[in-house]
Amino acid sequence: MTDHTTDLHITAWVLGIILFFVASAMYRNRNSKAKMIHMIVRLLYIVIVITGFLLYQGIMSSPTTPHMQYGIKMLAGIWVIVAMEMILVRTNKGKSTNAGWIQFVIAFLVVLYLGLRLPFGFHPFA
Ligand code: HEM
């Protein structure tokens, strides 16, 4: 684990969330390129999860780590991704996405709070 892993983790989720909004707007407008943006978003999910696990592994080797909080941080991160995927698929199918958006907002706030609070990297709330 290095600071670069954190940089990559943050770059991947910032880019992923921006492209997620782009893809969801394009699906709503029935833009035929929406699927392509969606595929890039899915690739970014993989980068986010891999860098997330690398950060987790590196951090777990320290005995003073608050393990429970990191466990919750990871689950919340995965929850954000699940909500994003659910919103995109359901928008494409023309189904209601309210439940997905509520989950997305809650999970994102939890992940942001925990990610920034936890000891590695910058931590404005710690
Ligand atoms: C879209 C989803 C995600 C968002 C928005 C997100 C956000 C963040 C943020 C803001 C940080 C803090 C970076 C820093 O302190 O410099 C972070 C760190 C971290 N993330 Fe994520 N993350 C996401 C997904 C994941 C996933 C899926 C995993 C695990 C598989 C994960 C595991 C971690 C770990 C272990 C850290 C290090 C915690 C620390 O700051 O000490 N994240 N993430």
Residue 126 resides in a domain: no
Question: What pLDDT score does 126 carry?
Answer: 47
Cβ-contact 50, 36 below 8 angstroms: no
- Return the residue matching tokens 């990610």: 115
- For position 82, what pLDDT does the model report? 98
Whether 124 is covered by a domain: the verdict is: no
User: What is the structure's pLDDT at 122?
Assistant: 56
Dist. CA 61 → ligand 1 center (Å): 17
Domain limits at 39? 3-117
Cα distance between the two ends of the chain: 21
Domains: count for the chain: 1
In a domain, 17, yes or no: yes
d(CA 34, CA 30): 8
SS3 at position 56: helix
pLDDT at 66: 76
- Token pair 């770059």 is found at 11
**To test the ligand 1 pocket, which listed residue (49, 65, 73, 109) has its Cβ within 8 A of the most ligand atoms?**
73
Q: Which residue has the tokens 């000891």?
A: 119
Residue nearest atom 24 in ligand 1 by C-alpha distance = 77
User: pLDDT in tens for each of the 126 residues of the chain?
Assistant: 457 888 899 999 999 999 999 999 999 999 999 999 999 999 999 999 999 999 888 877 777 777 788 889 999 999 999 999 999 999 999 999 999 999 999 999 999 988 887 655 555 554
- Name the burial class of residue 19, with classes exposed (0-12), middle (13-18) and buried (19+) by CB atoms within 10 angstroms of its CB: middle
Residue 92, classed as helix, strand or coil, is helix
Q: Is residue 123 assigned to a domain?
A: no
